[in-house]
Every structure is written in structure tokens, then in C-alpha cells.
Amino acid sequence: MTDTAANPDANSAIKPATRPNANFTPRVFSGIQPSGGLTLGNYLGALKRFAEMQGEAYQTVYCMVDLHAITVWQNPADLRKNTRELCAGFIASGIDPEQSILINQSQVPEHAQLAWIFNCVARMGWMQRMTQFKDKAGKNTQNVSLGLFAYPALMAADILIYHATHVPVGEDQKQHLELTRDVAIKFNHDYGVDFFPITEPVIEGAATRVMSLRDGSKKMSKSDPSDMSRINLTDDADAIAQKIRKAKTDPDPLPETLDGLADRPEARNLVNIYAALADMTAEAVVAEYAGQQFGAFKPALADLAVARLSPISTEMARLMNDQAEIDRILSRGAERAREITAPILKKTYDIVGMVPPVV
């Protein structure tokens, strides 16, 4: 595709495309795994940002990556339920299925088809360096699925099958996006084309890495065995307030400036969460609460979190009562998505040298 780049508006997170992407229409893509439960980390690092990036100047495509989820075992009934629940979470977080294209990955077969090509572009050594694979496989490298190892090639395909130029994610996905760039560069180089864009990661905001409420050195995660370590988007007001009240902190008051939080990861995390929920900078939060104890800061944070998150959980519950509507949204999303992905796959096959069907 060599459409002329539309100029995104000045106050958006997307900077006008610089070379080498100047020939690509600005397009945003991101995905989340339907592996059960959404946390405050998913909301602040991803969903809230996805909603903010919707705009007139560029198209946004958001995906429930069900094919990624099965790289580790998923009970089929749970996978279906979690995919629909995630779709409800996207919409409740402000993603408008008319404005954005909202899909589940398996309904758009071109993702998996391009992933095969990328399996043949990406190198074993690149994959072996992926820290998410090393973390998830642990000592069990011989027994995890081949899909878990190849996971980043499918992620590169998710993005590049749309020629997406910008990908909003949390900090933990940075390495996968670097690999996506490497895949695009190698494909373009090997085939002597300028076909895939070199995607820009968009890792911005006050909470690109929300930490566990129990341990400031660990990421907040749906897989943490302790439910007190995270806020779930389905938690009610009492649970949210209680988890924040019990969050680990230290005995010192909040400092005058952010430098004073350098060695206080738990305190820093709560300040970041406050900032992201209030749409403030962390500096401004510290300036407002300087000298105050956590005894005063935590209730203010709890009130803010409840005010922001309760409408989301209420809306998710409402949407989950109308499964037929969710399924319709996903089918319609897939139809719109394939208008973009089918021509890009066709062109990719042509570049690679596959004989096309006779029409």
C-alpha cells in the first residue's frame, strides 16, 4: 500500500509519520489475550489508551487474540466466555465498535496465514531472546507448546497484516514490538520491497507498568496467585477500597518531588496509578500530596479508583447479558477487518512467489 499519509491532528499521541513510514496511512492496532480477567494494569497500560487513540485522523483496530491465548492450555468453554467478556471490557472502557474495528483474531484468518510466512522470516536466535517466553516457559522449555515459542511471529503478523504504523501497549510488550520491526525490515530487505511499515510502539502515560499491590518489584498480573495483588475490572467498590487500603507501602510521608520516590517502588506505584486515573502527571500528584501520609493518600486513591472503575464493571455486566449483540459486533468487525487484510495477504503471497488462483 502506498496511500499518502493523512496528517494526524497535532494533539494526538500519534506523531506525523516520519520516514520510513511516510508512505503508509497512519493506523493503530493492538491486542489483548482473552485468558481470563482484566486488571487495572490492562486498563491503564492498554484499554484506556486504546480508547483515547480513537480519532478521525487514523483508523483504530483492536483485537482479542484468541489464537495467542491457546499457546497455553485453555478450556474451550472458558475461552469462549473470556473472549466475549474481553469484548465487553473493550466496549465498557470506551472503545466504540462503530469507530474502531473490534475483532477476535480467529475470525480474520489472514492473521494466521501471514504468521506462517513470518515463521519463515524470523530467526530462531531472535525468538530465543524473548524474555516473555523465558518467563512463561521457566525450566519447562522442552514441554511448552511450539506456539508459545512462535508467539511473537503471530503478534508481528497481527500488526503487519493491517500495515499498522502505531501500536499502543504496556512496557512489557516492548521487546515483541522490536521483533515486529525486525521482521518487517528483514522481509522488505529479503524481497527487495518497501511493503511492510516499521511500526512505532506507543508506550506512553503515567502507568505503562502497573506493579503488584503486594510487591513493588512485580508487574500487576492476572496470573498472580494473590488476588490482593491486583484490582480486577470486575471488582466491586468494597473490594477496590479494601485492596488499596491494604496495599503495601512504607511509613514515610509523600515527598515534595518525584526524586524522593526513587527507592520506594510501592509508593511510586500508587502515585502512578493515581496520576493515570486522574489524567495528571506523577509530578502533579506528588506536588498536591507532598508531606501527607499514606493514611490520607490511600482513601483519596480508593475514591478515585472506585469513581473511575465502577462504571466500567457495571457496563461490562450489562453487556455480558446480551451475548448475541457481542457476537454480532465481532462478526461485523471481522467483515470490516478483512477488507484491509485480504488485499495485504494477497500482495504478500505475490511478493513471496505463490501461484494465485485463476479468477
Nearer to ligand AMP, 44 or 254 (CB): 44
CA-to-CA separations, 4 to 17, 184, 199, 217, 264, in angstroms, rounded: 11, 20, 17, 44, 48
65 binds ligand TRP (CB under 6 A): yes
Is 346 among the catalytic positions?
A: no
User: Alpha-carbon distance 250 to 265, whole Å?
Assistant: 10
158 binds, among ligand TRP, ligand AMP, none (CB under 5 to 8 A by kind): ligand TRP
294 binds, among ligand TRP, ligand AMP, none (CB under 5 to 8 A by kind): none
- Please identify, among the stretches 54-62, 77-85, 167-175, 205-213, the one whose residues bind ligand TRP according to the rule CB under 6 A: 167-175
Q: Quote the least distance from Cβ 111 to ligand TRP, whole Å.
A: 9
User: Alpha-carbon distance 6 to 17, whole Å?
Assistant: 9
Which cell is 24 given? 503508509
DSSP 8-state code for residue 171: G
Which cell is 136 given? 512463561
Nearer to ligand AMP, 218 or 245 (CB): 218
Binding mask 174-213 for ligand TRP (x = CB under 6 A): --x-------------------------------------
Q: Could you give the 3-state DSSP secondary structure of residue 282? A: helix
Binding mask 147-166 for ligand TRP (x = CB under 6 A): --------x--xx-------
Is 222 among the catalytic positions?
A: yes
Site residues for ligand TRP, window 67-96 (CB under 6 A)? 68
Nearer to ligand AMP, 149 or 187 (CB): 149
From candidates 169, 213, 241, 326, binder to ligand TRP by CB under 6 A? 169
- Please identify, among the stretches 23-31, 185-193, 268-276, 283-291, the one whose residues bind ligand TRP according to the rule CB under 6 A: 23-31
Of the residues 81, 174, 186, 222, which is catalytic? 222
Nearest to 285 by CA among 206, 216, 351, 231: 206
- Please identify, among the stretches 27-35, 202-210, 253-261, 303-311, the one whose residues bind ligand TRP according to the rule CB under 6 A: 27-35
User: Alpha-carbon distance 162 to 344, whole Å?
Assistant: 7
* E strands present in the chain: 27-32, 59-64, 101-104, 166-168, 200-202
CA 134 to chain centre: 20
344 binds, among ligand AMP, ligand TRP, none (CB under 5 to 8 A by kind): none
102 binds ligand TRP (CB under 6 A): no
167 binds, among ligand TRP, ligand AMP, none (CB under 5 to 8 A by kind): ligand TRP
Comparing every residue's Cβ against ligand AMP, the nearest one is 45
Of the residues 48, 219, 243, 298, which is catalytic? 219
Nearest to 239 by CA among 229, 248, 247, 231: 231
Q: How many residues bind ligand TRP (CB under 6 A)?
A: 14
Of the residues 136, 174, 248, 346, which is catalytic? 136
Q: Quote the least distance from Cβ 219 to ligand AMP, whole Å.
A: 4
CA 48 to chain centre: 10
**How many helices (H) does the chain have, and how many strands (E)?**
14, 5
Which cell is 125 given? 536466535
User: Alpha-carbon distance 242 to 234, whole Å?
Assistant: 14
148 binds, among ligand TRP, ligand AMP, none (CB under 5 to 8 A by kind): none
CA 237 to chain centre: 25
CA dihedral 315, 318, 319, 325 (to 10 degrees): -140
For the chain, state the CA radius of gyration: 21
Give the interface with ligand TRP as residue ranges (CB under 6 A).
Answer: 29-33, 65, 68, 155, 158-159, 167, 169, 173, 176
Residues involved in catalysis: 136, 219, 222
